[in-house]
């Protein structure tokens, strides 16, 4: 077998193997999938069965809602949208347990992301307790901005309060339900954040009190329609997929295999191209025989 025929035969074999890998179906959650709370099959204690954070992926939040900002001004929710993705956090400022952990965890997670609040995205924190007042929100914002520690980013943090009817309309739109315990004077509620597009569309739900910096970054990149991020981020998005059941990004093994296969094909192709050109150079054994 000549060198040329060997190279052609080898490349054809590699391409056929890679084509078979590409044709293998990849499994995973679709973008539109979501998790929904089902009270009929809920096995939690009765006191917690009305607590939920259901996913309303691809639905729209009501941007016409009028709330109050940290200085007590009436503001439309829509003023924080239009240019960049928004992270929405629902807490209540008098809470000293779960909400405190959730906000602290959010700050720690955001500090590990190279994107800056107020630049590539904004953070909107809304109290779901109508008794919270703007001065409490202002104090909470000052503390969080100090913890975040990046100068010039305070304009990207927004801590809002509102009337009960307005708050309920917002919480219903994002699938958030909490219950108030009169005896304990506190709310029972879930913890998590929602990453939304610049148009106010609910895009990604991340649950818990601390979030993977990778998950936050990938969520913001996707919510921005890939307007932020680097080429390496596009590789990560190819290798990871959002799982609505867990609120996290999980590895797509088949896509990693595909990527590895593509890199192998490229490397082998470059190697055989170099070999073929070397055999064709004047002075090579093949050239002397000719």
Q: Is the pLDDT of residue 141 over 80?
A: yes
Q: How many domains does the chain have?
A: 2
CA 235 to CA 251: how far, in whole Å? Answer: 12
CA 67 to CA 77: how far, in whole Å? Answer: 7
Question: Could you report the per-residue pLDDT of 245-273, keeping only the tens digit for each?
Answer: 777 776 543 344 444 444 555 555 555 55
Per-residue pLDDT at 50? 79
**Which residue range forms the structural domain that includes residue 10?**
3-26+254-289
Per-residue pLDDT at 179? 92
Q: Do 206 and 265 lie in a common domain?
A: no
Top pLDDT among 212 and 290 is at: 212
Q: Do 198 and 90 lie in a common domain?
A: yes
Q: Is the pTM of this model over 0.85?
A: no
Q: Is residue 278 part of a domain?
A: yes
Q: Do 16 and 108 lie in a common domain?
A: no
Reference 178, options 118, 261, 92; nearest CA is 92
Per-residue pLDDT at 1? 52
Top pLDDT among 282 and 156 is at: 156
Provide the CATH number for the domain around residue 223.
Answer: 3.40.30.10
DSSP 117: B
Q: Is residue 234 part of a domain?
A: no
Q: Alpha carbon of 199 to those of 112, 119, 171, 218, 222: distances in Å? A: 26, 16, 18, 18, 13
Percentages helix, strand, coil for the chain (3-state, rounded to 5) are: 45, 20, 35
Torsion, Cα 278 282 284 289, to 10 degrees, reads: 130
């Amino acid at each position: 077998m000549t060198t040329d025929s060997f190279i052609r035969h080898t490349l054809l074999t590699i391409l056929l193997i890679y084509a078979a890998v590409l044709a293998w179906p990849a499994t995973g959650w679709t973008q539109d999938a979501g998790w929904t709370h089902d009270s009929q099959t809920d096995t939690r204690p009765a006191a917690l069965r009305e607590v939920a954070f259901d996913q309303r992926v691809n639905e729209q939040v009501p941007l016409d809602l009028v709330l109050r900002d940290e200085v007590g001004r009436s503001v439309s929710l829509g003023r924080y949208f239009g240019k960049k993705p928004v992270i929405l956090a629902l807490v209540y400022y008098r809470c000293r347990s779960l909400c405190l952990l959730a906000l602290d965890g959010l700050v720690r997670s955001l500090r590990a992301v190279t994107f800056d609040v107020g630049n590539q995205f904004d953070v909107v924190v809304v109290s779901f307790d109508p008794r919270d007042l703007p001065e409490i929100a202002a104090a909470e914002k000052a503390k969080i901005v100090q913890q975040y520690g990046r100068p010039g980013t305070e304009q990207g943090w927004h801590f809002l309060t509102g009337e009960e009817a307005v708050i309920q309309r917002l919480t219903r739109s994002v699938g958030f339900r909490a219950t108030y315990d009169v005896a304990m004077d506190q709310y029972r509620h879930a913890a998590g954040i929602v990453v939304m597009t610049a148009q106010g569309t609910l895009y990604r739900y991340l649950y818990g009190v601390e979030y993977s910096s990778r998950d936050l970054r990938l969520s913001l990149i996707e919510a921005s329609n890939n307007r932020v991020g680097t080429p390496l981020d596009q590789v990560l998005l190819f290798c990871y997929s959002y799982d609505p059941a867990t609120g996290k990004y999980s590895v797509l093994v088949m896509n990693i295999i595909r990527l590895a296969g593509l890199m192998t094909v490229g490397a082998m192709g470059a190697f055989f191209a170099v070999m073929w050109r070397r055999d064709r150079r004047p002075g090579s054994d093949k050239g002397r025989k000719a």
